[in-house]
Amino acid sequence: MNSRDWDKRYQEKKLVWSAGPNQFVESEVASLAPGRALDVACGEGRNALWLADQGWTVTALDYSPVAIEKAKARSSEIGANITWQVADATTDIDGRYDLILYAYLHLPRAQTERSLALAKQALAPGGTLLIVGHDIRNIEEGIGGPQDASILFGPHDFEAMLTGLEIEAAETVERPVNKEGQVHQALDVLVRARKDR
């Protein structure tokens, strides 16, 4: 999907995603000391808003201008001080961050590798890179999410893309999804890596 497709999707309803943070973002980041964070492909800002509430200094980017406008409106309602940017995750990552978050950004492999290479450069010594997304196994064994295998990966695929970082976790995790009154398990990939000091 291009940015216009995402703009259209974000215009269709008040919130496309949940208002609160992703459960894995919350559990993986809760023990980290707040610093500077970058939320890549932030959408409507749910994770960025939560990070700011936890004391992080947050920059959040997305290539959908509509998503960024919605995120800005949400942050001004609650007084959160976040730097919002309309930007491309494959070319526009720079700065120095203690945490870089990718939550459900699904791109073809070459673009994913390009984005992660920029993220590795932008990660401060001792910083954490956290990736959460739909696992490729979710197509056959889970529920929801993209059904295009060319934009989905497993934990070990990400390990190969993150050479030079210390991989602290790389696993497939289950996420409960309520659909029509029944709880199903979606399969997500979770990778946490750290840059040496």
> What pLDDT is recorded for position 149?
97
- In terms of DSSP H, where are the helices of 1-108? 3-12, 23-29, 46-53, 65-78
Confidence of residue 183 (pLDDT cuts 50, 70, 90): very high
Mind listing the pLDDT tens digit for each residue in 89-147? Answer: 999 999 999 999 999 999 999 999 999 999 999 999 999 999 999 999 999 999 999 99
> What pLDDT is recorded for position 181?
87
Q: What is the mean pLDDT of residues 173-178?
A: 94
Please report, as a single letter, which amino acid is at residue 35: G
Mind listing the pLDDT tens digit for each residue in 20-38? Answer: 899 999 999 999 999 999 9
> What pLDDT is recorded for position 13?
64
Q: Is the pLDDT of residue 48 over 90?
A: yes
Mind listing the pLDDT tens digit for each residue in 54-90? Answer: 999 999 999 999 999 999 998 888 888 999 999 999 9
> What pLDDT is recorded for position 15?
61
Task: Count Cβ neighbours within 10 Å for each residue of 112-123 and write b for 16 or more, e otherwise.
Answer: beebbebbbebb
Q: Is the pLDDT of residue 14 over 70?
A: no
> What pLDDT is recorded for position 54?
96
Q: Could you tell me which residues come within 8 angstroms of residue 44 by beta carbon, excluding any fewer than 6 positions away?
A: 10, 15, 16, 17, 67, 70, 71, 74
Q: How much of the chain exceeds pLDDT 90, in percent?
A: 83
Confidence of residue 43 (pLDDT cuts 50, 70, 90): very high
Domains of the chain: 3-194 (3.40.50.150)
- DSSP three-state, residue 69: helix
Confidence of residue 18 (pLDDT cuts 50, 70, 90): low
